[in-house]
């Protein structure tokens, strides 16, 4: 096999891997520290107002922290979302992770098809033998055709 240069993939020995992930500016651990510091500041201010007779500030601070905490939990659940596509010998393995739930599909290299689902900027449909999976959620729409072409080339050239 020739050794093509891949834009989206990494090559490890005979295996080719595509790791497509959400672009997150804050990790869940950083978010937890931010939330703890926000709680400390907000509750500290609420306690000061409580001591000065403004008793409604502290309950509203708690409501605010619960609402912000819920939003942070939703964000953190999806921070690790991603797609892993691996060409391992005769198998193309697609793993989709969404909110901690992992979906895995395996395709025989000889029977897999890789094509846009509907239009040029749509997700990429990987299908074979009655099963299909859409990938490319974490790639800009204008780059999806290039990703599909790269996967097709890797399937064609062999590992």
Looking at residue 100, its pLDDT comes to 83
CA distances for 18 relative to 71, 89, 92, 136, angstroms? 30, 15, 11, 10
Looking at residue 121, its pLDDT comes to 67
- Looking at domain 9-22+80-157, which of 2.60.40.10, 2.30.29.30, 2.60.40.420, 3.90.25.10 is its CATH number? 2.30.29.30
What pTM value is reported for the model? 0.73
Nearest one of 150, 3, 2 to 85, comparing CA atoms: 150
Domain boundaries, the chain: 9-22+80-157, 28-79
Q: Which residues of the chain carry a pLDDT beneath 50?
A: 1, 159
Looking at residue 1, its pLDDT comes to 47
pLDDT tens across 55-101, in order? Answer: 999 999 999 999 999 999 888 888 888 999 999 889 999 999 998 89
């Amino acid at each position: 096999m020739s050794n093509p240069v891949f834009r989206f993939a990494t090559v490890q020995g005979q295996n080719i891997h595509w790791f497509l992930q959400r672009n997150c500016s804050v990790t869940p651990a950083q978010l937890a520290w931010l939330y703890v510091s926000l709680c400390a500041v907000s509750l500290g201010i609420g306690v000061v107002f409580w001591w000065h007779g403004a008793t409604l500030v502290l309950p509203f601070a708690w409501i605010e922290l619960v609402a912000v905490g819920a939003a942070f939990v939703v964000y953190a659940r999806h921070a690790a979302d991603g797609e892993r596509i691996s060409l391992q010998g005769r198998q193309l393995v697609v793993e989709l992770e969404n909110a901690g739930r992992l979906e895995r599909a395996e395709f025989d290299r000889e029977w897999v098809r890789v094509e846009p689902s509907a239009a040029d900027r749509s997700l990429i449909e990987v299908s074979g033998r009655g099963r299909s999976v859409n990938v490319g959620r974490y790639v800009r729409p204008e780059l999806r055709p290039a990703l599909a072409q790269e996967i097709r080339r890797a399937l064609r050239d062999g590992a």
